[in-house]
Amino acid sequence: MSRFSDGLKHLGKEMAAFFTSPIVLKNLGLFLIAIVGILFLSSMLMKSCTRHGEALQVEDYSGMRLVDAMKKARSNNFRIAISDSLDRGNNPPNIVLTQDPAPFSKVKKNRTIYLTITKSQRDQVILPTIIGADEFEQYAKKLNRLGIKSEIKNRILNDRYASNTILKIYNAEEKEINLEDIKRGIKIDKGSTLYFDVTERSDSYTNIPEVKCERFDRADFLIRSYQLVVGTVHLDPTVVNRATAFVYKQVPEFSSTEKIRIGQQIDVYLTQNRPSDCPYEEDLTAPNE
């Protein structure tokens, strides 16, 4: 038994001497370095082989021209497809409106980006006939249902026709649209704006009252009696009682010859004390003697 034990001790010493020898330690170190190197290279190779699955960020293409969006997409290894085109009024054609996937989302390389863009050509509508509908407000309602905007360009005094009777129509380039062409069925881009000359009767106008130097309560009464409206009331720092304050300025100013449309506003400027350029006259609110 002692002999066997001594043999084991001897074998242990031999093995310890072997594994601690400089040559074995050197070779073992080189072996470990080789193993680590192989594992590292294998990891890099695996990443390179699977790079096609890497997630990329999608840019925001909204507002871009289609041609620019396609260039951007190709540079990032994306494909572009048009999913829809919409008429967006006066917006230029082929402009990106929306996209799928959404901007800044993460997707795989070679993914297709679906875009909604503005139409390359505007939708057109046929102008409704103006016969029997030559009153501006009624015709404007018809146009609005077709997606056409209406604006009054000029009001022309004309006592022959009722107020707001359409006299002329202009397109966005201020070119007159012939009423005969409308009868034949003229087309116009949806979303456009038409401009109108309409009639205005002389009885739709009134004189401009003179309210300067009047107290505000009196000025308010005069303005309303002319079928006009009190507009902005400007108070200077002295005003403590608006009703008894004096008007020292009015806009538009009084004119004995000019007229303004019924319903127009007159702005007034107030100060508490009678202005120096206003001649003194007996207070209208004082009792008669």
Query: Which residues sit opposite 100 in a β-bridge?
Result: 114
In the chain, what are the domains?
Answer: 55-118 (3.30.10.20), 124-200 (3.30.10), 205-271 (3.30.10.20)
Q: Is the dihedral of CA 141, 143, 145, 148 positive or negative?
A: negative
Rounded Cα–Cα distance for residues 153 and 148 (Å): 15
Confidence of residue 133 (pLDDT cuts 50, 70, 90): low
3-state secondary structure (DSSP) of residue 110 = coil
How far from chain centre, in Å, is Cα 11?
90
pLDDT tens digits along 198-232: 988 877 888 999 999 999 999 999 999 998 999 99
The beta-strand segments (E) located in 160-223 are 166-170, 187-189, 193-200, 205-208
Rounded Cα–Cα distance for residues 165 and 155 (Å): 10
Give the pLDDT score at 89. 63
Residues near 141 by Cβ (< 8 Å), separated by ≥ 6?
A: none
Asked whether the predicted pLDDT for residue 285 surpasses 50, the reply is no
Asked whether the predicted pLDDT for residue 269 surpasses 60, the reply is yes
Confidence of residue 287 (pLDDT cuts 50, 70, 90): very low
3-state secondary structure (DSSP) of residue 13 = helix
Mean pLDDT of 108-127: 82
pLDDT tens digits along 36-85: 778 777 666 665 554 445 678 888 888 888 888 888 888 888 888 888 87
Percent of the chain with pLDDT over 70: 82
| CA–CA–CA angle 267, 273, 278 (5° rounding) | 75
How does strand 124-126 pair with strand 166-170? unpaired
Rounded Cα–Cα distance for residues 88 and 95 (Å): 10
3-state secondary structure (DSSP) of residue 155 = strand
Asked whether the predicted pLDDT for residue 1 surpasses 80, the reply is no
Mean pLDDT of the chain: 82
| CA–CA–CA angle 279, 282, 285 (5° rounding) | 130
Two structure tokens written together for 169: 């129509």
Which of 30-34, 64-68, 111-115, 210-214 has the weakest average pLDDT? 30-34
